[in-house]
Amino acid sequence: MSVEINGKKYFVKMKRGVSYLNLSKKGISNILDIKGLESLIDLKNLDLSGNSITEVKGLEPLAGLDKLNLSSNQIEILKGFDALKNLKFLDLSDNQISDVESLNVNLSATQFFILGNPIVNKIRDIYGLYTIQNLKDYSKRSKEEKIKIREQVNKKKHFIGFQFSIKEPKIIKILDFYKIIFSMKGNIFEINTSKERNYKIIHEIENFLMSYTS
């Protein structure tokens, strides 16, 4: 089985028992230009990365597809995936998706990559959501839940000061009973109550950080 692009043939190969077609970096700008693609109804893995595709159109016959790589293209809108009911892996990294509403698309893929798209910064700025899983989860929330998430994110985002999430704290040293040095995710911090020499506070911080660790 093969497809043809600009007169050149590309064959479906078997990779660990799975049918695989590598069309990476073939100068494709329109999926419909790939002759014979519509007949590959049993194809499992399709790599279209590194082309200049702007729109996902023409993949409907590939209902058996479970892995699709569309990274490093020029796709702007998340659509054209409805027919791909068996899709488990979808890579859309490094495209041009910027519309937040795109996230309301119904994707069956359980692994979904979208980093390197303008939408990621947009979502991060608006909602403070950082992980892909969160982005996908967010799109599925009810309106009330979305409002609740935004409220919580705003509370954290707009805190009038400086803040550090407590992650994997480890006490390193306590100095003169009024300084405590600890590490969190590779950064070294020191809390100093020197002005008041507040031993009690240092002791409480010590207890708290220890309880957090255990």
Pick 57 or 156: Cβ nearer another protein? 156
C-alpha 119 chain-centroid distance:
11
Q: Which helix (H) or strand (E) holds 147?
A: helix 143-157
Pick 43 or 123: Cβ nearer another protein? 123
Give the number of residues in contact with another protein, rule: CB under 8 A. 36
- Shortest CA distance to 71 belongs to which of 102, 107, 30, 25? 25
In the complex, least distance from residue 133 CB atom to another protein, rounded to whole angstroms? 19
Say which DSSP state 86 is in: T
C-alpha 42 chain-centroid distance:
28
Strands 169-175 and 179-184: antiparallel
- Tell me which residues in 156-195 interact with another protein (CB under 8 A): 156-166, 172-173, 175, 181, 186-195
Pick 32 or 191: Cβ nearer another protein? 191
For 152-168, give one letter per residue: b (16+ CB within 10 A) or e: eeeeeeeeeeeeeeeee
In the complex, least distance from residue 29 CB atom to another protein, rounded to whole angstroms? 38
- Tell me which residues in 99-158 interact with another protein (CB under 8 A): 151-152, 154-158
Pick 107 or 149: Cβ nearer another protein? 149
* C-alpha to C-alpha distance for 147 and 126, rounded to whole angstroms: 12
- Tell me which residues in 26-65 interact with another protein (CB under 8 A): none
Residue 208 interacting with another protein (CB under 8 A): yes
In the complex, least distance from residue 135 CB atom to another protein, rounded to whole angstroms? 20
Residue 86: partners with Cβ closer than 8 Å, 6 or more residues away: 63, 64, 65, 66, 108
Residue 192: partners with Cβ closer than 8 Å, 6 or more residues away: 178, 179
Pick 6 or 194: Cβ nearer another protein? 194
In the complex, least distance from residue 103 CB atom to another protein, rounded to whole angstroms? 21
Say which DSSP state 210 is in: H
In the complex, least distance from residue 209 CB atom to another protein, rounded to whole angstroms? 9
Pick 20 or 178: Cβ nearer another protein? 178
**Residues engaged in binding another protein (CB under 8 A):** 151-152, 154-166, 172-173, 175, 181, 186-196, 198, 201, 204-205, 208, 212
